[in-house]
Structure 1
Amino acid sequence: MLVIGPCGAGKSTLAVELGERLHLPVFHMDQLNWQPGWNESSKDEIIAKLHDIVATERWLIDGTYGGTLATRLDRADSVVYLDFAISLCVRRLLGRIWTYRGRSRPDMTQDCPERFDLGFLIYLIRWNSGPRPRMEQCLIGHEHKVIRLQNPDALQRWMDSVPAVA
């Protein structure tokens, strides 16, 4: 299972909740990508880690990371797409930065303290004109797997319909 969407949509929070409810091991793309001190892994390193994960029977991976999406889409049984308004995502991102400022988030590699990054904010603001169309292109052929949720209320209704695994 994948959880994808723009930054600040709540992918990691949802992944943790779904992982607990469905008894799935959760992997965060941010942890697979970032090494301590905000050092980025190479694409080959990330793909090698992903191959090991998706070769297993059950998993949940959160994070869009378009350059590795095809590797995950082919093996995913479902894709939860948080297709939320960018204005909401910007507010949530800024709230996350404030909440975790100077500390690593639970879904991030240790020694990668949360910080304000203007380039990252601009990336999010431009989501609908750049990253989104590229991600949507990757989803072609996988539409039958996609659960597109367009706001937090739709997400809550969907979550209410997902039975917990005993």
Structure 2
Amino acid sequence: MSKMHIIIIGNCGSGKSTLAKKINQKMNYPLLHLDSLWHSTDYSAAAKGWFSEQQRRFMQQKNWIIEGNYYDTLPLRLAEADFIIWLKVGRLTALWRVIKRSLKFHYDKKSRTEMPSQFSEHFNREYWDFLRFVYSYDERQTEQLVQEKRQKHSVVLIVKSQRAKDQLQERLLRLKRLR
């Protein structure tokens, strides 16, 4: 059986974690949530090195799923990916989902199981800066990296709807059975 390395990228609030969990449940491949790693650090320069190293170690497995953006380490994941799933949603949809999940998480820490236990969100200036980042999310840099990978024969799947997400899960299951 050959390997299957899947990465899921997209703006905050696009549904990366949710889709990754669903694929994980169906395929039983190890899953790495990048938010879980990064938000367990002190965000220092040393943490950045540790963050990259943890991804490298995880990617040594035969099959895996990694979800998250983190543009600085995206080339590392793209170099190993067989399947790139890029979730695209509108800005307002992304903003609404981020605000909704933040409120939910504020009242129920179990609502985001991919987040480390010490993570907390505060509705302060830093949070508003984050919302500005979500709204102004620019796909151009990511697009360039993905296009380079596409030329090297990786499968790039751009997903824009729930129906497409459902079809994608079935397609991956069929591929798993064929490998």
Q: Does residue 1:139 correspond to 2:146, yes or no?
A: yes
Which residue matches 2:63? 58
SS of residue paired to 2:21: helix
Which residue matches 2:160? 150
CA shift, 1:29, in A, is: 0.4
Distance in 1 between residues matched to 2:106 and 2:157, nearest whole Å: 32
CA shift, 1:124, in A, is: 0.4
How many residues end up aligned between the 2 structures? 161
CA shift, 1:160, in A, is: 4.2
Q: Does residue 1:5 correspond to 2:10, yes or no?
A: yes
The root-mean-square deviation of aligned C-alpha atoms, in Å, is 1.9
Note if contact 2:19-2:165 (Cα within 8 Å) is conserved in structure 1.
Answer: no
SS of residue paired to 2:56: helix
User: Which has more radius of gyration?
Assistant: 2
CA shift, 1:89, in A, is: 1.0
Which residue matches 2:116? 109
SS of residue paired to 2:85: strand
SS of residue paired to 2:63: coil
Q: Mean Cα displacement is larger for which, 40-49 or 61-70?
A: 40-49
SS of residue paired to 1:140: helix
With normalisation by structure 1, the TM-score equals: 0.88
Which residue matches 2:3? none
With normalisation by structure 2, the TM-score equals: 0.82
Question: Which AA in structure 2 matches 1:149?
Answer: V
State the identity %: 24
Note if contact 1:3-1:82 (Cα within 8 Å) is conserved in structure 2.
Answer: yes
Q: Choose the corresponding residue for 2:81, options 63, 73, 76.
A: 76
